[in-house]
Amino acid sequence: MVAGGGVAGCAVAYYLSAAGVPVTLVERAGVGAQASAWSAGGINPLHGIPAPLSALAMESFRLHLGLWPEVQRRSGIDFAPSRIAMALLAPDAAAVPALLAQGEAFGAAEGFGATWLDPAALTALEPRLTAPGAGALLTRGNGVLDSHRLTLALAAAAQRNGARLHAGAVSGVEGDGRRVGAVRCGPDVLPCAAAVFALGPWSQGAAGWLGAPLPVEPLKGEILRLDVPGPPLPFDVVAPAVSLFVRPGGQIWAGTTSEARGFDAAPSESARRALLAAAVELMPSLAGATLERQTACLRPVTPDGLPLIGPVPGWDNAYVATGGGPKGVLLAPAMGRAVADLILAGRTDLSIGPASPARFC
C-alpha cells in the first residue's frame, strides 16, 4: 500500500508494480492534485542542491532519463521532457567565484556543460534582460517537464502494471506495534504486507499513527504564468529575486516564492506584486505581459532541508518517502526506486543515507 498520490508516491507505486508487486495507491484529492501539479518542472541536479544530497540528486537525474521513454510508452501520456539551458545570474562580483565553481561541476558531469558570459555577452544573447550585474553562468544539460503530467503518467503506468487506485484518505493503521497489517481509509480497511507513506506536508498524520517523528512542514511556493509578447527566451534565467522559466507556448513562469504560511495554499496578492515587480526589473518587456494564471502549492520540507526516505523508525514494514521540497520532482525517481528496493531486497544502492528518517529519533 502506498498512501499519497503525489509524484513521490506515484514513483514508489510505479517501481513496485514494475517488479510485479501488487500495489494499492491511496489518494484523497486526485493524483497529482497538490504540489506535484504546480511545480515549475525543473530537473536540475547541479543547482540548489544541499551538499549531502549531491550524489542522490545526480542518481535521480539519471533515473529520470531512463524513465522518460518507458513511462511515456506505458502510460500514453506525454509529459514533454527535454534538456535545456539555464543562465545563473551574478548580481555582483562577490557572486562570481561560487558560480565559477558551479561551472566546473557542470563541466565535469557527463551530459552537462557551462560557459561564463560577461555582461556584454549576456546582453548580446538576450537584449531584453537588464541589470546583468557581473555576468552569468550559462549552463547546459538540465531537464524540464510537465510535473503534473509526469505524476499522472507514473500512476497510469503503475496501473498498466497492475496497481490499483483507491480514492480516499488514510486515517490510521492497524498492526502489532512493529508491523503494519492494514491501513484504515474511511470505512475501508486495506490489508497490506508493507505500507509506504508519501503524504507530503500532511505527514504529521502518519507520525501520530506510527508514534515516530516525521517532522515535515508545508512551504508555500507561488508562480506567475505570463503570456508574453515577442519571441520566447532562449534559456531559463535564475536571479536572486526571481527566476524566469521558459514554458510551453512561449509562456514565461516567474517564481518562485518560499514562505512558511502553514496550510494556506491560496494565491496571494503580495506574492503577485513581488514576483511581477522583480520580473519586470529583470526583463522590462514583461510589463506588457498578461497574467494567465497564478499558482500556489505547499511543498513538504524538513527542519534540515533533506528528504525522508526509508524505513519508519520502530517499524519493520512501514516506509516514508517525502520532504523533497523544491527538489521533489527531481528526487522522485530516487525516492521511488530506493523505497521499492528496500521493500523487495532490504537494501538499495542509491545514496539515501543523509535522508534516513532515523536521524530525527
Helices (H), the chain: 7-18, 35-38, 54-75, 96-108, 119-125, 147-160, 204-210, 269-282, 328-345
Q: Within this chain, do residues 223 and 277 fall inside the same structural domain, yes or no? A: yes
- Assess whether 117 and 131 both reside in one domain: yes
72 and 152 in a single domain? The answer is: yes
- Whichever domain contains 93, its CATH number is 3.30.9.10
One domain for residues 65 and 152:
yes
pTM metric for this prediction: 0.96
- Extract the C-alpha cell encoding 92: 555582483
Kindly report whether the peptide bond that precedes residue 257 is cis, defined as omega within 30 degrees of 0: no
Last residue of a domain, one of 274, 300, 326: 300
Three-state DSSP string of 175-208: ECCCCEEEEEECCEEEECCCEEECCHHHCHHHHH
335: domain CATH number is: 3.50.50.60
**End position of a domain, from candidates 252, 272, 300:** 300
Within this chain, do residues 309 and 343 fall inside the same structural domain, yes or no? yes
Express each pLDDT in 174-203 by its tens digit: 999 999 999 999 899 999 999 999 999 999
Q: Do 156 and 176 lie in a common domain?
A: yes
Say yes or no: 133 and 170 in one domain.
no
Number of structural domains found in the chain: 2
Rounded to a whole number of angstroms, the CA Rg of the chain reads 21
Judgement on whether residues 47 and 58 belong to the same structural domain of the protein: yes
Bridge partners, residue 320, by sequence: 197, 310
pLDDT at site 131: 65
Q: Are residues 161 and 238 in the same domain?
A: no
In this prediction, residue 133 carries a pLDDT of 85
Which residue in 244, 240, 235, 243 sits closest to 90, CA to CA? 240
Residues 56 and 184 in one domain: yes
Instruction: Please list the ranges in the chain whose pLDDT falls under 50.
Output: none
**Cα–Cα distance measured from residue 343 to residue 141, given in angstroms and rounded to the nearest whole number:** 33
Question: Residues 277-330: pLDDT tens digits?
Answer: 999 999 999 999 999 999 999 999 999 999 999 999 999 999 999 999 999 999
* Among candidate residues 277, 300, 323, the one where a domain is terminated: 300
Residues 207 and 222 in one domain: no
74 and 151 both lie in a single domain: yes
- Provide the residue range defining the domain that includes 204: 2-78+147-216+303-360
Which grid cell sits at 83?
A: 534538456
